[in-house]
Amino acid sequence: MASGILLILDDIATLFDDVATLSKVATKKTVGVLGDDLAVGAQRASGFHASRELPVLWAITKGSFLNKLLILPVAFLLSAFLPQLIVPILLLGGIYLSYEGAEKIYEFLFHRATQAPAAQTAVDKNELLALEKRKIRSAITTDFILSIEIIIIALSAVADASLPAQIGAVTFIALLATVGVYGLVALMVRMDDAGLHLLEKSANERGIKRGLMQKTGRGLIAALPKIIRILAVVGTLAMLLVGGGIFVHNLTGLHHFLEGLPVLLGELLVGLIIGVLTLAVLKIIQKTRA
């Protein structure tokens, strides 16, 4: 009896060890997409009144958890029984991400004067909540596509392992993609509050410590708008890179055609072309329906 329990515990310990090792491998494979997810997440969670940033971010985080909960079992089942469907699903996601990136560029170039953060355009509480819901839905949809990419890449990195080890490692990456990414985003969007807190607290200090706290507080407050603007650009590029990268990595002919170009440039060009074509088609459809 005792020996049987020890064997079970040994098997469990071995499984945890395998999961830890495989998680490191999968993290290295997905770190690029995780970085893109961070940039896109920060972009999507910005543009709200300070009092609404954390509630909006929490709503997006809950949506991200639900996305992972839906995607993980489907990914394991597809990998086991219908692996031929994975690439078409990824390509559809690539089209969506490329379109999102192209639309951001289009809005910046042709509708820049009319753009304003949701908190500034809303005239009452109901309108603000409606704008928030639309942006939250858009953020969760984008997170869904990026989550598929992250989970599929992680799954491919541990494909040779046992099923329990695969489930453990890929689930860890999925949780990291939500907790880690949106945790960092939460820290970013509250930088100005941290800076204000330091300025208020510095009133009770003297000498060098007071000056250092004031300088740090002002620096945090001044840095946030710049970081948000940078992440808006990075987030747009990330959507084009991930969208184009899905096509480049999964279509052999396209991959060989772009071999002479730097990898990132090839992925960006493909994402931009697909995004512009998709945007043009949707604009034409909208005009014909009008």
Q: What is the pLDDT of residues 133-170, one digit of tens each?
A: 888 888 888 888 888 888 888 887 787 777 788 888 88
Query: pTM for the complete prediction?
Result: 0.74
Instruction: Examine residue 140 and state whether it is found in any structural domain, yes or no.
Output: yes
The amino acid that residue 111 corresponds to is H
Cα end-to-end distance, the chain, whole Å = 75
Instruction: Examine residue 136 and state whether it is found in any structural domain, yes or no.
Output: yes
Question: What is the residue range of 88's domain?
Answer: 2-190+225-289
Residue 6: CB atoms within 10 Å: 10
Instruction: Examine residue 200 and state whether it is found in any structural domain, yes or no.
Output: no
State mean pLDDT over 55-69: 90
Instruction: Examine residue 201 and state whether it is found in any structural domain, yes or no.
Output: no
Instruction: Examine residue 151 and state whether it is found in any structural domain, yes or no.
Output: yes
**Residue 102 confidence (pLDDT):** 94
**Residue 135 confidence (pLDDT):** 84
Instruction: Examine residue 215 and state whether it is found in any structural domain, yes or no.
Output: no
Q: How many angstroms separate the CA atoms of 194 and 184, rounded?
A: 14
Instruction: Examine residue 110 and state whether it is found in any structural domain, yes or no.
Output: yes
Instruction: Examine residue 7 and state whether it is found in any structural domain, yes or no.
Output: yes
Number of compact structural domains in the chain: 1
